Structure 1
Amino acid sequence: MRRSARCSLVAQRHLLSKKFALNEEWCSRHSALSELGIDGGYEWITAVQKKFVSAKIASAVDVDAAVCIAEELDQLDDILKIIYKLRHIEMTGRMLPSTEYALVRLLLKHHKTDILLAVLTDPINYGVFLNEHSACLIIDNFLEADKITDAARVASCVMLQEMFQSTLLNWLCIYSSLRWTELPTGQRVFEELPSLDYIAGTENNTGHVEDEDEMTFKFPYLKNEYNDMHFDLTDPDQLIGKNLLWFSNCVPLSEEEAKNIRLIGYVFFGNYVLAKQLLQTINIFSSAAAICQSRLEQLTIKTDNIRELQDRQPTENVVEELKGIIDKIEKKNTDEKLSDMIMKHLKAVQNTEEKNVIEIQRSAFRNWIQNRTDLIRAQVETLDLKLRLKETCEERRKLRDRWEMLNFFENRLKWEDMAVVKEELLKAEQDKRKSKEDLEQEYVDEVFHKKNVKKC
């Protein structure tokens, strides 16, 4: 009962059903780990840390077991450190999906959502990616807490992963993104995330660093300025705009709804040409027009910097033109927000789609347990074989030493005979070699001989 209480994710859910959290199924991992002899979270986590300290390496399944067995808040830093270390060794490609999922659940359980976002937005150092179930849990958690900006930020992570297989997740992402666009201008930002330098041990200690402790890094090249308009995107408006453009293609919307959502997406992404073209064929909702006008007003903030004003002039002209078109175009008056329309679609399919995601995740739990069992048994078997091989090599060495001791006199005669043979071969080889003076004399004789032949 105590473990079940600890494993509870949230007491009351707002959007998704309570059973969607799969708390009981997730807690079953403890019994599976106990069957493998892995129990006592603190002891196992410490053992994995010692492997990194002594051997500079630990297996992916060791790290997975440590992350899955962790439950307490004071274990969180240790878990983040071993995941960081795994990410920076050659075994990083073997990180198990259950490791990523377990870390997400642990951070959600202790409401460390700021650290969760920092980890998700730093895939280079942590390599933690979401699956459909964990992404739904996070977005639902943020929506329940009315953290719209954080929910939209997670939706952008899903978009960057190009994870569009789950209809439920697609609806949640597009809903979160629309809720973000409906916020006042001052709230449409991504808050600064906490630094995780203390995990990597790279805190700013410049005041205490001596000259001999400073490190210099040499890079073989300098990265050219480049933006692939996907993984390089950092601007919140562009990320949310791309969310709307991509997710609107992955859910069944009416033509009017799809066009209005794409119009907002084009405006926030900054593709004003396509937005202008779309306005020629759209029956724009008043709510969508208000969102677009809010964003366009934000873009036309004046500046006193003349050079910056000149650089922005072409864009501002397009923005002003787009604002004029939206002002003049006939709008479909409706008090219903686009996000409310999306919520109706979501509610219509929620029960069915929740069951689909739940079934997929339950199957994943079973596969993870079986895979972890196979890997741990294989690791134990490999270790056993290495120990047996070491013992065999040691036994062979002892037998060889004993044989040489028992056959000392016979071996002595053999070595003496071999030494005589080697000495004769060396002497014969030396006789074949000519000294430097002999070679010079032969060269001189050959030259004189050729001259005499020519005279004759």
Structure 2
Amino acid sequence: MLNLKIPREFQNLLAKQCYKNHIQFRTLVSAEFSNRNAWQARLAAPVFKQIKMQEYFVTLDKKFTQEFRGSAIDVDIFANNVQSSTQAEHMEELMFKLRRTPHTLHTLDSTHHAAVRAMLDFGSAENLVKMLDDRMNYGLFLDEYSAVLVLDKFLKTGDHQAAARCASQLMLQEENFKIANALGNLACWRYISSSEKIDWFYPDEIQVDENPDEVIRVRVQTVPNKYTDDHFDLRDPDKIIGKTLLYFNKNSNDIVGRSLVILGEHLFGSEDSVIAMLKDGGEVAKAVLEILEQSNKENIVEAAKSAKSADIDIDAKLFEASNNEIKENAGNMIQQQKDIYQKWQDTRDQELKKYYEAMQRSARIQSIEETKAQLTATEEQLFFFDNLDSYEMELVDKEKAFLRTLPRTNWNISNYPQSKYYKKKLAPDGERKIARWEKKEQKLGPPK
């Protein structure tokens, strides 16, 4: 066996890196938290056993694109029955089309949850993040339970980009989820402190002008609105991640929370607030001060260098805070989610029953209308000769009404005033005057 002597500084560096990797790829919530058995129990319902997903997708696609009668309950059934990556893509398309109908108002809570879990199991992180960020076109939102599942998975796999962007959705929704907010805080810090340069947006989300030198002038009728609400209109990654840190740490009084608030103010662009907090004498985490010292604002750099530094591991503290929230609240969330799954199943059954009754009522009304039309036709055949006179009078009235719609071309010229303009033009010998087109045909002679 080789006995290699490793220098102490490399031992410390290796131990620190292994510790970070251990935290990064370690799942926070337990396998029990996913409630896999309770979630799979929904498939025991008869409605899911009778559906052939490929045929069902074709039917729903036809409903939305041609018949314009797709419903929210149809999309909910499809989303809850996704079992492959292809079906996950079809679900994404159906949610996009549902959003463009009035039925989007009736979207069930189970649809959001099922869509998120389907994308986690069979879709991609990129598609899920895009759906969450494109609220106008998909209308997909995280609930408390699905937010924990999403953040836990992305933190476990080390996908800092997806984790931070999902955490920003909690800020935009202004949710007060204890476990999810703690995980979101950890996700934002890992995104900022990552040694790799990670873009906020995916490549195909950034619009690139293929002809930057070409100038296209378009005449517009209105002046564009330059107003932004600094919330839903935010597209600057620094401002989004900064406001997310401010939201998650607004009630924190410890050094980590205070340091992240300062970092959030810096990223959001509040220069005066950052300098004031750095100069008030409180301790700031060393890792945050190192980030501030790289700023292009000289006054922020000077304030960061003069601030009181605290050698504290932010990642370990945030991980510990998340773990404490999980130990305290995970058990209740698991039981509550089981009850919610059962409640969603009952709601779906009620909606299906209403839908079935409405279809039966519509079918009965249509059958009655067809029977009435058939009876009317039979009555006309049986009593045709008895009503012959009335039919003939009706025909005369219709003919007169039709003639009144025609242009008046049969005027009687003799009734007009005796003016030369209205009199018939005759030849000197009293015969009708020959028209010019007749003279032209006589001159040309018979066709050859």
Change (3 A) 1:282 1:60: farther
Equivalent in the alignment of 1:200: none
Q: Normalising to structure 1: TM-score of the pair?
A: 0.73
Q: Indicate the structure whose relative CO is greater, using CA pairs within 8 Å and at least 6 residues apart.
A: 1
TM-score, normalised relative to structure 2: 0.74
Match of 2:168 in 1: 156
Distance 2:359 2:219 in 1: 39
Write the mapping of 1:13-412 to structure 2, written as runs, cut at 5 A.
14-32=27-45, 34-35=46-47, 38-110=50-122, 112-164=124-176, 166-184=177-195, 187-194=197-204, 221=222, 223-249=224-250, 253-287=252-286, 290-297=287-294, 299-300=295-296, 319-332=297-310, 334=311, 336-412=312-388
What's the secondary structure of 1:331's corresponding residue?
A: strand
Deviations 1:200-259 (A, max 9, x none): xxxxxxxxxxxxxxxxx9987453223211111122221111111111136xx4344432
Verify the 8 A CA contact 1:61 1:376 in the aligned structure 2. yes
Pick which of 35-44 and 348-357 moved more: 35-44
| Structure 1 unmatched runs, 5+ | 1-11, 198-216, 301-318, 424-456
* 1:125–1:417 distance in 2 versus 1, CA, 3 Å: closer
Residues 28 and 220 (structure 1 numbering): CA distance in 2 closer, same or farther, change over 3 Å?
farther
- Which structure is larger by alpha-carbon Rg, 1 or 2? 2
Query: Percent identity between the aligned chains?
Result: 26
CA contact (8 A) 2:241 2:264 kept: yes
User: Greater helix percent: which structure?
Assistant: 1
> Following TM superposition, by how much is the alpha carbon of 1:296 offset from its aligned partner in structure 2, in angstroms?
5.0
What's the counterpart of residue 446 of structure 1? none
Structure 2 residue identity aligned to 1:183:
S
Q: 1:110-144, CA deviations, whole angstroms, 9 ceiling, x for partnerless residues?
A: 35112111222212221111111111111111110
Aligned length: 374
* 3-state secondary structure, aligned to 1:285: strand
Letter in 2 for 1:110: F
Q: Deviations over 1:19-41 (max 9, x none)?
A: 11111111112112x25764333
* Cα distance between partner residues in 1 of 2:375 and 2:292: 83
Please tell me whether the aligned partners of residues 255 and 285 of structure 2 are also in contact (alpha carbons under 8 angstroms). Answer: no
| Letter of the 2:369 counterpart | C
In structure 2, runs of 5+ residues without a counterpart are 1-24, 208-217, 400-448
Q: Which residue of 1 aligns with 2:17?
A: none
Alpha-carbon separation, structure 2, partners of 1:126 and 1:270: 31
Q: Confirm or deny: 8 A CA contact 2:151 2:167 kept in the other structure.
A: yes
- Relative to structure 1, the CA distance from residue 219 to residue 119 in structure 2 (aligned partners, 3 Å threshold; closer, same or farther) is farther
144-153 or 221-230, which deviates more: 221-230
Amino acid at match of 1:276: I
Quick check: 1:114–1:193 contact (8 Å CA) kept in 2? no
Label 1:407 to 1:20 Cα distance change in 2 as closer, same or farther (>3 A).
Answer: same
Q: C-alpha separation between the residues in 1 aligned to 2:35 and 2:238? A: 34
CA distance, structure 2, for counterparts of residue 99 and residue 189 of structure 1: 30
Q: How far is the alpha carbon of 1:13 from its aligned partner?
A: 6.6
CA distance in 2, matches of 1:219, 1:320: 43
User: How far, CA to CA, are the matches of 1:296 and 1:225 in structure 2?
Assistant: 33
